[in-house]
Amino acid sequence: MVSEVNPKMIILAREAKGWTQHDLAEKISLHRANVSRLENGDTPVQDQTLMAISAATGYPLQFFTKQGEFIPVNLAYRKRENVHVKLLTPIEAKMNIIRAHVQYITRALDKAIPSIPVIEVNEEKSPSIIASIIRKKWDLGSGAIDHLTGTLENHGIIISSFDFGTERVDSRSMFTDDKYPIIFLNRNLLGDRLRYSLAYELGQLIMHTHSFVPPERDVTKEANAFAAAFLMPEEDIINDFQEGITLSLLAKLKTKWKVSMISLLYRADDLGIITPNQKRYLIQQFNQQKIRRREPIELDVPIENSTLLKKLIKQYISEYEITTHQMAAIFAIPLEDYLDYYGEM
């Protein structure tokens, strides 16, 4: 058992719990320096130590023998400013755990890798133009996209939702080693923010993941520009703004376009329909009515549930005639984590 341990999986289990090396050291009665050596692969992991780590973290022993690398964040999360790394670390660790599950299940079922368009931003192709290209390529027609989650899943993009443990981070996208695309969403997102986050991550997958991005480029700004144009095409929405913009109009348009009122305001600003003074005045109204962060509940956009990953897992369970407990064991995670990520099958 000892020789099979992948030290990186110790790091992953620890970080998924949000623990520092010092935290893990205390829980398994080791010096922090010894934990560091274990995680660096500088010293062998004794059976007793591995069992202590397993008991402390809740991950079964076979979790620590899984091979492979985990992927660091190399593009921007969709998040609010100044999010502490302590919040990001467990989110990224859980994404890597789920990423390994997606890789396993898509390989086991021999699923074809989706063909996600790759379009580089340049002088001729702005993020807004690229968004228009994708809408036409996917035959999305005009107006609001009815069910964005379903649209992305129909094009083979896996969508995984779990509790990020903070409202300050919304989403992130990754690929498996086989280049199978995954978008991760914070389970606690409201419907409008969920849709915008999906569009934002789609922009990242298309424009940034497979292309070299010079450091002076702002990938967050570009992904936001893509998302706005993808969800609210200029040629379709501009007529909605012709009679002047008010909070009541933004509320009405929210139900039509399935985006937040503040996103509609920013889109009008992007299109040059309002002046800086008008924008400032409307934002003041948002603040005065205390709807800047939480818009009226009666205007909430319905949550779009993702189903593709659960269908793939259900297919695997059916083909191999196994139980939920056995599936959790194959994924090498605690049953409660399995149920949290994927539900009862």
Indicate whether 118 and 227 sit together in one domain: yes
CA distances from 319 to 158, 314, 339 (A): 20, 9, 20
What's the CA angle centered on 248, arms 244 and 252, to 5 degrees? Answer: 95
Q: What is the full DSSP assignment across 129-161?
A: HHHHHHHHHTT--SS--S-HHHHHHHTT-EEEE
| Most distant CA atoms of the chain, gap in Å | 72
**In this structure, are 106 and 143 located in the same domain?**
yes
Indicate whether 282 and 134 sit together in one domain.
yes
HSE-CB for 140 with a 13 A CA cutoff: 25
Whether the pLDDT of residue 172 is over 80: the answer is yes
Taking residues 220-241, report their average pLDDT: 96
Backbone phi, psi, residue 170, to 5°: -105, -45
d(CA 105, CA 99): 10
Residues 136 and 177 in one domain: yes
182 pLDDT more than 80 = yes
- Within a domain: residue 215? yes
Q: What are phi and psi of 282, to 5 degrees?
A: -65, -40
Asked which of 68, 83, 114 is the last residue of a domain, the reply is 68
Judged on CB neighbours under 10 Å (0-12, 13-18, 19+), 195 is buried
For residue 223, give the nearest of 291, 126, 307, 290 by alpha carbon: 126
Give the dihedral sign, CA 255/166/334/93.
positive
What's the total number of domains in the chain?
3
Domain annotation covers residue 174: yes
d(CA 328, CA 324): 6
Q: Per-residue pLDDT averaged across 26-54, rounded?
A: 94
Mean pLDDT, all residues of the chain: 93
Does 123 reside within a domain? yes
| pLDDT band with cut points at 50, 70 and 90 for residue 1 | very low
Share of the chain above pLDDT 70, in %: 95
Q: What does the pLDDT look like over 56-74, one tens digit per residue?
A: 999 999 999 998 777 665 4
Q: How confident is the model at residue 209 (pLDDT cuts 50, 70, 90)?
A: confident
- The domain of 322 spans 308-342
Predicted confidence at residue 81, as pLDDT, reads: 59
Pair (161, 232) in one structural domain: yes
**Number of C-beta neighbours around residue 204 at 10 A:** 24
Residue position matching structure tokens 């498996």: 176
**Shared domain check, 163 and 60:** no
Rounded to whole angstroms, how far apart are CA atoms 102 and 310? Answer: 10
- Note whether residue 263 is domain-resident: yes
Helix, strand, coil % over all residues of the chain, rounded to 5: 55, 5, 40
DSSP secondary-structure letter at 185?
E
Interval 326-343: pLDDT, tens:
999 999 999 999 999 999
Residue 76 lies in a domain: no
Same domain as 59, residue 108: no
Helix, coil or strand: residue 286:
helix
Residues 193 and 142 in one domain: yes
How far CA 218 is from CA of 68, 182, 224, in Å, comes to 31, 22, 10
| Confidence (pLDDT) at 77 | 57
> What integer is the mean pLDDT of 137-155?
97
Alpha-carbon distance of 206 to 200, in angstroms, equals: 10
Which is more confidently placed, 37 or 79? Answer: 37
Joined tokens for residue 276: 């800086």
* One domain, residues 123 and 267: yes
160 and 274 together in one domain: yes
Task: Give domain status of residue 73, yes or no.
Answer: no
- Please give the Cα distance from 90 to 217 (Å, whole number): 28
Element (H, E) at 78: strand 78-79
CA dihedral 340, 101, 175, 162 (to 10 degrees): 0
Q: What is the DSSP letter of 244?
A: -
Residues 324 and 272 in one domain: no
Q: What is the CATH number of the domain that holds 14?
A: 1.10.260.40
Amino acid at residue number 187: R
> pLDDT category, 17, cuts 50, 70, 90?
very high
User: Domain for residue 85, yes or no?
Assistant: no
Residue 269: left (phi > 0), alpha (psi -120 to 50), or beta? Answer: alpha
**DSSP codes, 298-331:** GGPPPP----HHHHHHHHHHHHHT--HHHHHHHH
State both tokens at 52: 């202590």
Question: What share of the chain has pLDDT > 90, as a percent?
Answer: 86
Whole-number pLDDT of residue 72: 60
Same domain? 126 vs 101? yes
pLDDT confidence of residue 331: 97
Confidence (pLDDT) at 3: 54
Asked, for residue 80, whether it belongs to a domain, the answer is no
Q: Give the model confidence (pLDDT) of 239-255 as tens digits.
A: 999 888 999 999 999 99
